[in-house]
Amino acid sequence: VITGATSGIGYQAARMYASRGANLLCINRNIEKSTTLRDEITREFGGECEFKIADFERIADIKKVGNELVHLEKRIDVLICNAGVFSTRKEITGDGYELAFQVNYLATFLLTYMLREKLKQQGNARIIYVNSEGHRFATWGIHLDDLAFEKHKYDGYKSYGASKTAQLLSMIKFNDYFSGSSVTINAMHPGDVKSNIGANNGRLYRWYKKHLLDPTLKSPERSATALYYLGVSPDVSTTSGKFFNLTTVEIPAPPARDRDVAEALWDTTITMLGLR
């Protein structure tokens, strides 16, 4: 299962897994691009490529697709949470949450939370969060009393960093839940690669991305190779709760390792999503 598989890292990961015989279930927000991906995968690799449509800016969409996956008769061997967003301007979703916090963190948390029992019962599953070294932008960590940047001045990089820090903090708690089982959960920085993240920002950022940033970046195929390694290699079959830079374990920033904050964030998130 791969989220955000119609472009960039997710697209290359889908091709990488399909080329090696995996059956895919992709969660995307665009039906036309999803259909194109399915037809391409089927034509080139002959494998199965299903898709479900969900907009991570809508909590209801995630709950719907999560429920469908829970009742899926097939097992889920690898869950790659790749969908993400970076915004230079403050945006609030229809659910009332800051955009990056919802798409990068809440949606990923909810999907993992809904699937946790299914994965634990079936066993032998791997969860991979496509995270980022950008979590270090949130040098102060996260403000549990100001997750929508109402008290602090909004900054796209800090918002992105906070959402990725939250993702790493949730990994601590999920790793506790899966302890003693054959389910692992890890996070990965995909390297400095080209992707469509930030493509919906203003004209100035798009110009900067196209002419100055993208020429310095590498192909997302490199990230896909790392995602495949983390998803299937026996070398990391029992490794869990780690942050990888591609395939190398790194230590996250201190705010992303704070267990007390992880506990508080977990409780806050459960309340926000109505999961009690």
| CA angle in degrees (0–180, nearest 5) for 191-194-196 | 120
d(CA 201, CA 197): 9
| Predicted local confidence at residue 140, as pLDDT | 84
**CA atoms within 13 Å, Cβ hemisphere of 151:** 6
Q: Provide the whole-model pTM.
A: 0.90
Q: Phi first, then psi: give them for residue 106, nearest 5 degrees.
A: -60, -45
Going from the C-alpha of 32 to that of each of 21, 62, 74, 171, the distances in angstroms are 24, 19, 25, 33
- The confidence score (pLDDT) of residue 220 equals 75
Class of domain 2-272: alpha beta
179-200 exposure pattern, b = at least 16 Cβ within 10 A, e = fewer: eeeebbbbbbbbbebbbbbbee
Per-10-residue mean pLDDT of the chain, 276 residues long, equals: 96 97 98 98 96 98 98 97 93 97 98 98 98 92 92 93 98 98 97 52 43 49 93 98 96 98 98 93
pLDDT score of 222? 87
Instruction: Check residue 191 and give its pLDDT.
Output: 74
What was the pLDDT predicted at 267? 98
Q: What is the pLDDT of residue 217?
A: 42
Q: What is the pLDDT of residue 216?
A: 38
β-pair type (243-245, 248-250):
antiparallel
